[in-house]
Chains A and B, each alone.
Chain A
Amino acid sequence: MAQAEIPYQEAIPLHDPHSWITKYWFSQDHKVIAVQYGITAVAVGLVALVLSWIMRTQIGFPGAVEWITPDIYYQSVTMHGMIMVIYLLTAFLLGSFGNYLVPLMLGARDMVFPFVNMISYHVYLASVLILMAGYLFPGTLGGPTGAGWTLYPPQAILSGTPGADWGILTMLASLAVFIVAFTMGGLNYITTILQARTRGMTMMRMPLSIWGIGMATVLGLLAFPALFVSAIMMTLDNLIGTSFFMPAINSAFDAGEDYQGGSPLLFQHLFWFFGHPEVYIVALPAFGVVSDLISVHARKNIFGYRLMVWAIVAIGGLSFIVWAHHMYVAGMHPYFGFFFATTTLIIAVPTAIKVYNWTLTLWRANIRFTVPMLFAIAFVLTFVVGGLTGLFLGNVIVDVPLSDTYFVVAHFHMVMGVAPILVIFGGIYHWYPKITGRMLNDTIGRIHFWITFIGTYAIYFPMHFLAIPRRYYEYNVGESAILTQSMDILNQSITITAYIVGIAQFLFIYNLIVSYRRGREAGDNPWEANSLEWRTPQTPPVHGNWGESLPTVHRWAYDYSVPGEEKDFIPQDVPRKAQA
């Protein structure tokens, strides 16, 4: 049978760089853009880390640091949340992993529109700078917004909330710009996945990383519009005094504006119509990547590949009809709790299937406890705890007393904070040899892993039992002291652990920098993995990825430990043996 022609792919015009600027700054190579996204996301993530230290210091040792005023505290909480969810997790998992892996794993030369891809990064960078510009308006102008990362009106734009003048505007503008950046990148990822695969690469042969990234991109393209629109409406409410979200009752408190008859509940619905898919925008790429890490390092095919794929698809679809389980105490229609609790429990089914399949992949496997594998196993352990507490919070009657307590904080940090970050670490340890050609230092990696894993457990597990309201600046004020001594001790220990875990991350960054020059030479395929990114003619791959001709795929990515075979792995581009 004649080989099908691959449209455009074979003759894609690559814009080869001519200068340092076009090679490293305005590069159109998806691999460089991936690294740009990664470095920016890590940098902004470090800001979020420092912010978390600020708020933990206040909670653990109230009043110990004088300059942590209530304003600073709430601004830190808000910026920490938004940076972690959007500018670190979303940007890293899709912007960095997505950019690097999609063309390489599919056997493409680049993204379908490299120029748009390049613009995407620079618009993302602009959104980060606009976000940080909130700090340029300190003092009387109020600094960045302190409304909490959910930015609920009316309080987000009423005077009295820190940053109600300029901070909220820079935040909303930054989000809108980020969405533009994401749309440009996301259209590229999804079009590449659908229209630019190599010969033999069917959807059901794609590594699960690509399924996770692809589905998350679809969710992003369909969910970010809700955030975009609500950002526009809140900007209008704030700037020119429309009343989309601002009810009349606020006129009494805010002399400046005459608001009438807007609906704060509308914002909450729109925010969570974006916000819940956002949870899966972060989770699905993590699910995908961790499936690949577990399979590669357990030397065993992923258990139930097809079910894993359909679970990703099902989660993607269901994630759009569960949003109001974040709003059980918001005063919405009384029947909504029933509907959303039901859909929430249904979405737990495909998620649980994935956990079973990871576990069953590990079952009786020839596990190599490499650093990526340690992070992958840690992800499963963390995700299970976070997922189980989700069952409590998904049920209305249990959620009502737990709302706005540290139980919720512990839940979402476990399930969508720590868990995806562990996958990001695992992924970096796994693909760093392909990106740079050198291994990361193993000893530092193991130290980093154990401090991070045990540390994050020590931070978030006790929070479940802390049972105190969240978003309080101070609990014990004079007569109204509400914390027992044991709670104080718990809070202090959590804070100290947070310092240690934070410092350990600098160890990781040191490792990244030092190994770039001094790391052990990795070779083409140090993990003996099957997927196409390990089959490039050069390591690190050059512009265009595949040299003269594109690879041809003959099998799925999970042929590990196939009985009767010489080696315990068979890469995807190795032809099948003729049937005897």
Chain B
Amino acid sequence: MSSDVGQQHPLALYFWIWGLLFVISAGSYLIDFFQVGYDVGTMELRWALILVFMFLKAGYIVAVFMHLKWERLALIYALLLPPGVLLVLVGLMAWESDYTWLTRVVYFGAEVAPVALSPADTLGHH
């Protein structure tokens, strides 16, 4: 077997991506550190930032570390298309759970608790 197959790329690339992943992780952690959505900005901003950082990080891991970027298109599409049905499931279940919530509150008289307690309330420290 010849040795010219497999995924060989310059080490520098890996270090770059590695560093980038740290930066992205730090970014998504900072969303919570600065309490985006609670102390600053809106919840919509928080959710958008979470998704942006999540997809960036996932994308770099799959594309570079798992070498998908260099695979042939036949494999790339075979792997990326099937999860599309999951989007249908997630979308419909999001819609469905809104409806379930509505029936519980409207028809079953479930009381909507405004805000959850925090550990500080029950444990007395922090």
Contacts and interface: CB of A to CB of B under 8 A. Distances in A.
Contacts of B88: 320-321
A222 B85 contact: yes
Interface in A213-265: 218, 222, 249, 261, 263, 265
Contact of A273 (B82, B89, B95, B108): B89
A521 to B, nearest CB: 44
B85 A320 contact: yes
A154 to B, nearest CB: 15
A233 to B, nearest CB: 14
Interface string B63-85: 00000000000000000001001
A263 B96 CA distance: 11
A331 B103 CA distance: 10
A265 B96 contact: yes
A358 B84 CA distance: 32
Contacts of B92: 269, 324, 336, 339
A333 B91 CA distance: 13
B89 A336 contact: no
A571 to B, nearest CB: 29
Contacts of B103: 331
B34 interface: no
B97 interface: yes
Contact residues of B: prevailing secondary structure: helix
Interface of chain A: mostly helix, strand, loop or mixed: helix
Contact of B93 (A269, A321, A334, A339): A269
A580 B82 CA distance: 46
Contacts of A39: none
A269 B96 CA distance: 10
Interface string A68-109: 000000000000000000000000000000000000000000
| Most chain A beta-carbon contacts within 10 A, residue among B92, B95, B97 | B92
B99 A333 contact: yes
Interface centre among A218, A263, A324, A331, by most B CB within 10 Å? A263
Nearest to A222: B82
Contacts of A320: 85, 88-89
Contacts of B85: 222, 317, 320-321
Given A269-B93, A273-B89, A336-B92, A263 B100 contact: yes
A444 interface: no
Contacts of B89: 269, 273, 320
Contacts of A263: 97, 100
Contacts of B93: 266, 269
Contacts of A513: none
A320 B85 CA distance: 6
B100 A265 contact: yes
Given A273-B89, A320-B88, A333 B95 contact: yes
Nearest to A331: B103
A355 to B, nearest CB: 25
A50 interface: no
A332 to B, nearest CB: 6
A346 to B, nearest CB: 14
A173 B75 CA distance: 34
Interface string B85-126: 100110011011101100100001010000000000000000
B96 A336 contact: yes
Nearest to A223: B85
Contacts of A273: 89
Contacts of A218: 82
A332 B96 contact: yes
Nearest to B96: A333
A324 B96 CA distance: 11
A273 B90 CA distance: 11
Nearest to A221: B82
Interface in A300-344: 317, 320-321, 324, 331-336, 339
13 contacts: A218-B82, A222-B82, A263-B97, A265-B100, A269-B89, A269-B96, A273-B89, A320-B85, A320-B89, A331-B103, A332-B96, A332-B99, A333-B99
Interface of B: 82, 85, 88-89, 92-93, 95-97, 99-100, 103, 108, 110
Given A263-B97, A320-B88, A335-B95, 16 more contacts: A222-B85, A249-B108, A261-B110, A265-B96, A269-B96, A317-B85, A320-B85, A320-B89, A321-B88, A331-B103, A332-B96, A333-B95, A333-B96, A336-B92, A336-B96, A339-B92
- Going nearest first, the 9 A-B pairs with the smallest beta carbon separation are A320-B85, A333-B99, A333-B96, A321-B88, A222-B82, A333-B95, A273-B89, A332-B96, A263-B100
